Amino acid sequence: MQRERSEEIEVLLDRTATVEETMRAHEAVEAIRTAADGYLATTPYSYRRVGARHQREEDFQ
């Protein structure tokens, strides 16, 4: 997770010209991450990764 964060920061720094742009981009990434975490918290076992595609857990029962 720490490595992902440092890579994320490097990408943001490479693609933005000002500190303000970097902060806005970082806030956007955090908002997306928060929304995804919230969704996954409400449906933690509905989907599982199987091979290269996702299938519903109920399909295996």
User: Domain locations in the chain?
Assistant: 1-42
The pLDDT profile of the chain, 61 residues, written as one tens digit per residue, is: 667 778 888 888 899 999 999 899 989 999 998 998 888 777 766 655 555 555 555 555 5
Structure tokens at 42: 């409400």
Name the 3-class secondary structure at 48: strand
Structure tokens at 37: 């975490």
